[in-house]
Amino acid sequence: MRASKLYAPTLREVPAEAELISHQYMLRAGLMRRSSSGMYTYLPLGLRVLQKIETIIREEMNAADAQELLLPIVQPAELWHETGRWADYGDEMFRLKDRHGREFCLGPTHEEIITALVRLDVSSYRQLPLRLYQIQNKYRDEIRPRFGVIRAREFIMKDCYSFDKDDQQANLSYQAMYNAYDRIFKRCGLDAKPVEADSGAIGGDSTHEFMVLGEAGEALIVYCPQCDYAANVERAECKEVEKVEEELLQLEEIATPEVKTIEQLSEFLKVEESKIIKTIIYLADQKPVAVLIRGDHQANEVKIKKYLNCTQLELADPVTIEEVTKAPVGFAGPIGLDIPIYVDYAVASMVNGVAGANKVDTHIANVNIDRDYQAAAIVDLRQAEAGDQCLRCGGNLETARGTEVGQVFKLGTKYSEPLKATFLDENGKEKPFIMGCYGIGVSRTMAAIIEQHHDQDGICWPLSVAPYQVIIVPVNYKDEEQRKVAEQLYQSLRDLGFEVVLDDRLERPGVKFKDADLIGFPLRITVGPRQLQEGKVEVTIRSTKEQIPVSLSEVEDWVSKFIRG
């Protein structure tokens, strides 16, 4: 490709709309342009990167016995009614009607439609296991589209679905996908950590997210530096805590006027936040419940929701709180409450804690479980945090932020049962398929690669996904000798099968170097007068900025070695 013809409009300025470095570089390097909120056009260079990622994904999916197909983007509402997700999906779903008034959606995901396909065509255990995947645009009307293609409303996903005859076979599918994901991200040059994640209503150890660690990540994870345990905080379990042996003291009311927060209370009473009980009133499917969390801990609403097995969980409004506690907001406590009280492990082990008194401007000291209030249940309801003990090895957990690039999920019969997708087993018995689903955000992966591979001058693409491998930059294209050498090299490297751009523009060298760095070609071959006098060119490795003079007769070999290893 000649740079003079290449449609890669680079920008010198950082676009105001872009907060994250990957978003900035994708715009500045001319990889993509925004068309409307959360919707993007991929320009030729951006598309080449996407296609390389897709090729890696296809190779690994095919190697894991998954077969590619292509499902429709527009899906009929009826199927979604069968699983109940037409209502559950809410505003995130793009909905539309055809000319006859029939309802459809733009697929946010494809469990319904693929299960409906397989229920028609697969009827015997002999046809299993079956693994099917596609690479396609997905549509989600995200409440906050941001960070460019990291959270978009139209994005590219690889989604794979497995159909198995029993749990054992389903576990093999899960493991095959897990291993394929590991290889895919490695081949893309990404350091992606598999973490245990919350599986929502399905339960069990049935899902892992692949996280790219970095400050920009929206998810919080905990991991153990001593063993390989890692989990999304939504999911990470906290240990039961042993009670310390300590004398139970008498309850004591304390006036606490103007004290609103845990921090202020700790300050005012000169007690540690870990001796304070937070009483949080929630509405679980409209019914009020109290949750007790230690002052220095955070409630984990994913755990609470799961334990209560409710579909909706929200903080109670002030009117409900006043009704339940008979006091204004800010003084709720467990004593005398006549709603169910769910107590986190860390609160249950507390002796002589401080809590709200259910009375205006008042707290109460020396509160003890069993003696002063009864728990409906003692459970793990808080968020894991740095410093907690690892459940596996006892090490000290650390926290990090991460961006989810992929997820593998054991679905069980969640979709096959409501959709009545069944097969006949070895004994002629009708059974629902055991399913799994496995997604990779292809466009998000591209951004994540940039997050991990860049410097102050631009992108440093790993060779495996670079839009082109080499750029040849004659310092002055008008100079006859430089032009001749550059053109010859361009020809011979392309003949060898390499992906090469020749910068034949009549720009100043500084402009050409800046563009080459910004776009991030792994190798730059500079053809300049000084080196040419010695029969050499200069090769620059983008990621290290290393500059190596190479004689003209050896350039092809040098490049081959570098690229093909």
Residues at the site binding ligand ATP, with contacts judged by CB under 6 A: 109, 140, 142, 151-152, 155, 157, 404-407, 439, 441, 443-444
**Peptide bond before residue 129 is cis, with ω within 30 degrees of 0:** yes
Least Å from the CB of residue 43 to ligand ATP: 18
Instruction: List strand residue ranges (DSSP E) for 83-149, in order.
Output: 94-97, 103-106, 130-139
Least Å from the CB of residue 187 to ligand ATP: 17
Report the amino acid identity of residue 210: F
Residue nearest to ligand ATP (CB): 441
Least Å from the CB of residue 519 to ligand ATP: 23
Least Å from the CB of residue 129 to ligand ATP: 21
For residue 461, what are its two tokens?
């693409």
When the beta carbons of 80 and 477 are compared against ligand ATP, the nearer one is: 80
When the beta carbons of 381 and 442 are compared against ligand ATP, the nearer one is: 442
CA distance from start to end of the chain: 24
Burial track 422-432 (b if 16+ CB lie within 10 A, e otherwise):
bbeeeeeeeeb
When the beta carbons of 181 and 229 are compared against ligand ATP, the nearer one is: 181
Smallest Cα–Cα separation from 547: which of 539, 536, 537?
Answer: 539
Least Å from the CB of residue 109 to ligand ATP: 6
Cα–Cα distance for residue pair 284/426, rounded to 1 Å = 44
In a 3-state reduction of DSSP, which class is residue 335? coil
When the beta carbons of 210 and 498 are compared against ligand ATP, the nearer one is: 210
For residue 392, what are its two tokens?
């596996």
Least Å from the CB of residue 408 to ligand ATP: 9
The DSSP secondary structure of 389-422, one letter per residue, reads BPTTT-PBPEEEEEEEEEEEEEEETTTTTTTT-E
Least Å from the CB of residue 151 to ligand ATP: 5
Measured in degrees and rounded to the nearest 5, phi and psi for residue 523 equal -125, 135
CB atoms within 10 A of CB 11: 13
Instruction: List strand residue ranges (DSSP E) for 183-229, in order.
Output: 192-196, 207-213, 219-223
Least Å from the CB of residue 406 to ligand ATP: 5
When the beta carbons of 264 and 311 are compared against ligand ATP, the nearer one is: 311
Cα–Cα distance for residue pair 436/252, rounded to 1 Å = 55
Least Å from the CB of residue 213 to ligand ATP: 15
When the beta carbons of 164 and 404 are compared against ligand ATP, the nearer one is: 404
When the beta carbons of 405 and 471 are compared against ligand ATP, the nearer one is: 405
Least Å from the CB of residue 174 to ligand ATP: 15
When the beta carbons of 407 and 469 are compared against ligand ATP, the nearer one is: 407
Name the strand (E) or helix (H) holding 4.
none
Report the amino acid identity of residue 114: I
Least Å from the CB of residue 204 to ligand ATP: 17
- State how far the alpha carbon of 134 is from the alpha carbons of 111, 140, 155, 468, in Å: 12, 17, 13, 26
Smallest Cα–Cα separation from 467: which of 149, 52, 3?
Answer: 52
Cα–Cα distance for residue pair 48/466, rounded to 1 Å = 8
Report the amino acid identity of residue 102: R
Least Å from the CB of residue 133 to ligand ATP: 12
When the beta carbons of 288 and 402 are compared against ligand ATP, the nearer one is: 402
When the beta carbons of 439 and 522 are compared against ligand ATP, the nearer one is: 439
When the beta carbons of 8 and 233 are compared against ligand ATP, the nearer one is: 233
- State how far the alpha carbon of 328 is from the alpha carbons of 204, 323, 359, 367, 402, in Å: 40, 9, 8, 20, 39
The DSSP secondary structure of 242-268, one letter per residue, reads PPP--PPPPPEEEE-TT--SHHHHHHH
Least Å from the CB of residue 207 to ligand ATP: 9
Cα–Cα distance for residue pair 527/483, rounded to 1 Å = 8
For residue 427, what are its two tokens?
């004994």
Cα–Cα distance for residue pair 108/155, rounded to 1 Å = 10
When the beta carbons of 266 and 407 are compared against ligand ATP, the nearer one is: 407
Smallest Cα–Cα separation from 384: which of 203, 224, 193, 199?
Answer: 224
Cα–Cα distance for residue pair 368/374, rounded to 1 Å = 10
* Side-chain half-sphere CA neighbours of 13 within 13 A: 3
Least Å from the CB of residue 81 to ligand ATP: 20
Q: Residue 73 contacts by C-beta under 8 Å, 6 or more apart in sequence? A: 106, 107, 136, 137, 139
When the beta carbons of 354 and 447 are compared against ligand ATP, the nearer one is: 447
